[in-house]
Structure 1
Amino acid sequence: MDILNALCFLFLTTIQTLHGSRGAKIGNLRLSPVNADFNWIEPGSDIIEEKPSGVPAGCGGKPVDVYIAIDTSEGVGNNLVNAQLDFTRNIINVFDFNNDIARVSLVAYGSDATTIVRLGAYKDRTSFEKAMSEIHTMGGQRSIGNLLNYIRTHGFMPPYSRRSTAHIVIVMTVGNSDDAEYAITEATLLKRTGAYIYGIKVTREVENDLLTKVTSNPTVKFLYDMDGYQIADSLTSLLSVRPCEGLRNPELPLQYICQAKRETDVIFAVDHVSLGAKTSQQIFDFIRAITGSMYAENGLIQVGLAKNRNPNFDGIDRSLETISDFKSHVTDIAFPLFDSVLARARKMFYGGRKGSQKTLVLFVDASVDIDKTALMESSRNKALKIETYVIAVGEKLDETSLSILASGPDRDHIITLKDFQQLMEFEKTILKTICRGW
């Protein structure tokens, strides 16, 4: 009778494992879910300490395309796959799926990588979680290099990804990659496109040496152990996500309107040649006022000005000369256009701090020539993740051109005013809009 009871117990336990109400599927095996946060998991261990999740639901934030990569290489057991899936279920709570603000993809990798959930395929967290159950193992030796190459050359390429949004990769790994040099090379190429790379160490076997070179800088904000959800704070800050129900940030001193949570480089771009002296002076007075309202004591904010070059008069304005020489010099005079201001701003950004938030503020009115070349330069800036705000003044401005100049067609990136005198009138509103992403 004791033997019969033992067999029945074993049978029921097996059935519960194979037919959990929710879980990941590897081949024909359905894994029972792990609905908990956890402490360190030792390779081969099936024991996971339960404790409540601490990831609040996120609302709003910057548009972002996210790839979450789960390690399913050879030797990664079902319990470790489950742990990564559960971590994913909790961490996606940070992202706002509404209106495609956040589009999230799930990738499985081993020696190769494959997409389990296509980027943007699901418009809510619940549907995304259900789709995660179709995960399957890749097997083979762990190759972070092949994973990053797959995401760089496939995942973040059109038509799958949006070029002008933030790009984030979250790599979970159970052990060390067998292709360290290749992984570093691919990570460097991916980061050059403006993507941010996070690393999540699932077990204690994972060494820091490689991951500190693969992940974005500073390491303390992009490399985490999988014993909690500290990454949520980093993502919330990076993407300016607001907690749907949560605490407000501490109030700033009264004289300050906004502050940066990370290194932030801000450039104001002014085509002073086209705008003229009087208008340019109004803009410079406004810039002086709002920079005085930025909290600068922590040293995170740096500010610059990109202006147009003055026309080259080649000495024609210094002395009298013959009519022939005068006509020759006048013919050579060329007035630089708005595109050169945009190109100069880009050069200034990439001569500055690596990994910083890059914010560009443009001032335009009907006198600024927003031609095809200017729109092309602006598209290059946005492709490099330079967040661009446009302060458009007056009438007769083409809305389509403004939406191409800005990082988005919405009110959050295009600020319209009747005249330049309104700059000072709406100073606080404008600054709050610009610094929302810091």
Structure 2
Amino acid sequence: MGMATMYCRIVLIMMTYYVSNYEAAPSELIGGDVCGAKPAEIYFLLDSSTSIWSVDFKKQLEFVKAVVNTFEIGPDKTRIGVASFSYTFHEHFGLDRYSKIEEIENAVKRIPQYIGGTHTDKALNGVLSRGLSKDKVRKDIARILIVLTDGASFNAKKTKDMAQKVKDEGIVVFAVGIGSRTNKDELAAIASTPKNPDDKYLFEVDNFDDLDNTVKNKLTTKACEVKVEEESVETEKEDQKDDNSGPECGKHNIADVMFVVDPSEVGSFHTKRIYDFIGNVVNDFNMGKDNIQVGLESQNCGAANISLNQYNNSRDLAKAFRSTKVSQLPDMLKRLRTHSYTKENGGRNIARRMAVIFVDDSLYDKKTVLDEARRTKLQDVELFVVAIGDSVDDELKALCSSPVERHIIRVPSYQELMESKPQFMKKFCLGL
């Protein structure tokens, strides 16, 4: 055999191998040629319970990154949100948080594991009320939920009922069961119902290593094929009814909001101005048991604090802020993390946890403050910072949640604090 003939055969074998493998994995083109860059709202719900070894939890995160990389990401393309669950629902970032794959990958890498029981019903409720709620998603865009779990939930009936509510809202649900401890009936109830024999919304694998090897290509291909279902007339009527009640901020979502003011840092004169500002802001909150609740963290002794369920009326709450008497920030952040959002103080499991911190100079005891802020954010509390005057940029970035440009409200002086309300409302009310 001549050298030229042998070379041609080698090239032919290599081309045959490449083409056969390329056709076998069409999902590598999900974001482009296969889907035609079709936009979607995709939300991941990851099991974070005690039964999952930390190494396996990280394999879930790697799976999320691998799936995300098969879609074309952008504000007008596919958007991604991620939450985890154990005893309760923890949203790590919403659909509108990141618009680049690199940002999503970095955020996924930082997701902590919150161990506890498998309360899948609470997680699905969180998806419905926060993650894929109607105010968060774009109209006429497919909504897709991908649920990963390694075991049966604590309450199968509640889980099945809540899964049905999610699907009744037109959300397409893919369920991925991992290992031998899952309940197939429950998984089938979570997953969307196939409309034809080729449809598949339930996947089962033996272990976490099989996520990337077995599930990724099939799941992304099916996700690509999801079509938008038309909403019912009843749903449209319900939306119209909701759109006519109360202020816009907090109309569509549930949030527990704490304002954090340290009189010992800003002084009593400036504290009064901050209270007046808060009183003005909350007048434009849609308050109630199914909307926004507001509390105040201001005194070490707790005498001037306001619990989340103390006021449901904006006028009374505004009056309370204006009449509040004039604490060290680390202690207040610790109480914020350990007490403010508890059930005893009016906290709600499904509510978005938000806090607004007022600062006007370099942080006193910077290391302790930032350490408490980090711990608070790990407890799924979203921190906003109103920076008045000459605050230090690096400190503010470490104090607030990401992305920093959405969570810092800069005000040149206390005299201009009230004028900053439109800027504050625009950033703070996004998604509420």
Superposition TM-score, scaled by structure 2 size: 0.46
Say which one has the larger Rg: 1
Q: Which has the higher helix share?
A: 2
TM-score by length of 1: 0.46
